[in-house]
């Protein structure tokens, strides 16, 4: 599982030159430590992982060499994994239900690594996907703030095989309705170019950077 330095350089250069306010996240789920270290050697510091335990095992090692790593949880978070997640991740992007907010709030302290949170929005209102319904996002945002979570952004995964522009535009509208200062985490390997043109602040790219060669 090799890290594609050429692909990373090309996409990183594009974003740096044309969208300098956008951050590039490397999605490193299911990738070995050696491949992630190759990315770190190229100057990457922002990573996204889906599973708490996997991320903890890999990045506990890597942070000893690269203490400035910024690690985000972008996968679903079970309430029984909250304590560990708060110790492992700098940011949790998948806050999506009141029960989870309560558990996070109960375990937050000055000693927890996680300081910032995103609300995951089910922008396509798909039954099989996690995320808060867009119609409930404003009240959920207010609730999370009341419980002491520092909500800094919204995250989404648009439906497959549909025009991503439509859903990214809906996310911009939703952000503007809730709080114009919120960041938008949207855009992945297959649709990041559309997200860049639709005011995203952070793109999450994985498969473009890794190969089995």
Nearest-angstrom CA–CA distance, 191 and 204: 10
Tell me whether residue 54 is in a domain. Answer: yes
| Domain hosting residue 13, numbered range | 2-207
CATH number at residue 177: 3.20.20.10
Q: How many domains does the chain have?
A: 1
Tell me, yes or no, whether 213 lies in a domain: no
Return left, alpha or beta for 182; rule: phi > 0 is left, psi -120 to 50 is alpha, else beta: beta
| Residue 212 belongs to a domain | no
Quick: pLDDT tens for 154-210. Answer: 999 999 989 999 999 999 999 999 999 999 999 999 999 999 999 999 999 999 998
| Residue percentage of the chain with pLDDT more than 70 | 98
The structure tokens listed for 195 are: 């997200």
Instruction: Give the three-class secondary structure for 197.
Output: coil
DSSP state of 75: S
Coil/strand/helix, residue 212: coil
Task: Supply the pLDDT for residue 213.
Answer: 45
Predicted TM-score (pTM) of this structure? 0.96
């Amino acid at each position: 599982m090799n890290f594609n330095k050429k692909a990373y350089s090309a996409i990183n250069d594009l974003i740096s030159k044309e969208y300098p306010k956008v951050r590039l996240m490397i999605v490193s789920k299911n990738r070995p430590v050696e491949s992630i270290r190759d990315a770190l050697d190229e100057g990457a510091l922002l990573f996204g992982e889906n599973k708490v335990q996997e991320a903890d095992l890999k990045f506990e090692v890597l942070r000893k060499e690269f203490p400035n790593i910024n690690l985000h949880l972008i996968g679903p978070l079970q309430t029984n994994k909250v304590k560990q997640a708060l110790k492992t991740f700098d940011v949790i992007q998948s806050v999506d239900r009141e029960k989870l907010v309560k558990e996070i709030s109960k375990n937050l302290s000055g000693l927890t690594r996680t300081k910032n949170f995103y609300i995951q929005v089910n922008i396509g209102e798909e039954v099989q996907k996690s995320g808060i319904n867009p119609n409930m996002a404003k009240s959920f945002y207010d609730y999370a703030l009341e419980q002491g979570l520092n909500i800094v952004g919204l995250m989404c995964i648009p439906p497959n095989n549909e025009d991503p522009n439509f859903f990214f535009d809906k996310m911009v509208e939703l952000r503007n309705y809730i709080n114009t200062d919120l960041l938008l985490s949207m855009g992945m390997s297959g649709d990041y170019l559309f997200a860049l043109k639709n005011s995203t602040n952070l793109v999450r790219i994985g498969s473009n950077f890794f190969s089995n060669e």
